[in-house]
Amino acid sequence: DVVFDTPLEVISNLKSNAKTLSFSPDCNSGCTETVSLTRNNETVSVSGGKTVCVIGSNKAFDVSFGAGGGTLRICGSNLTIQDLANNKINDPMSIIITSESSVTFDDKKGTNFNQNNNTIENYGEVIFKGGINLAGELKNNGSMTVTGGFTTETQSNPVTEHINNGTLVVNGKMDIGSNSIFHNYGSVKTTDLKVFNHSTFINYCKLHVTNDYDHS
């Protein structure tokens, strides 16, 4: 017989407060519109606050955000986003990669998704070629690989906040910009890490910097 001084439900609540577990959405419900990719080089448009779900495999396509913003929800394997266009609007924009999905952002100059109201949620496997510049919120619950730099854009209202619950590998420099907050509950491996003044990096788990660590 084992006696616990603290009830199990209390322990569960304490753990949940430290790390909020998330469950992946899918493309079976909650979609305003569903796009089935049948050929390469299609353009998927997201606007008017709609949730546009994309299904398919082994296809390359472009994404264009328009007035009113919205959510791009991806359910598919070996998909490639060639161009992420018209994402400089101030309306909320969100990209969700669902579990068991694999997506590559293939912009050799780097992916910019750096407006205040932007959100990226990853529950599957995502690769950013050429680096990424992110503002708003990042929630990585899967596997994320960045070839190039990873930069958190400096924002004050709202504050840029990134949460890693999965695996993040940065083959380049990881910059945590001023007024940014980064929580690592999973594993982060990066070539270089720079934490700027007035920014916060909180490591609860594994952090591996292979070259330079600069906390200025």
Whether the predicted pLDDT of 110 surpasses 80 = yes
Least confident of 1-5, 56-60, 97-101, 108-112: 1-5
Query: How many other CB atoms are found less than 10 A from the CB of residue 184?
Result: 19
Does the predicted TM-score (pTM) go above 0.85?
yes
pLDDT, tens digit (0-9, with 9 covering 90-100), for 1-52? 555 554 544 444 444 444 555 789 999 999 999 999 999 999 999 999 999 9
| 156 neighbors 176 (Cβ within 8 angstroms) | no
pLDDT, tens digit (0-9, with 9 covering 90-100), for 192-204? 999 988 899 999 9
- pLDDT class of 116 with cuts at 50, 70, 90: confident
Return mean pLDDT, the chain: 89
Whether the predicted pLDDT of 96 surpasses 50 = yes
156 vs 174, higher pLDDT? 174
pLDDT, tens digit (0-9, with 9 covering 90-100), for 177-190? 888 999 999 999 99
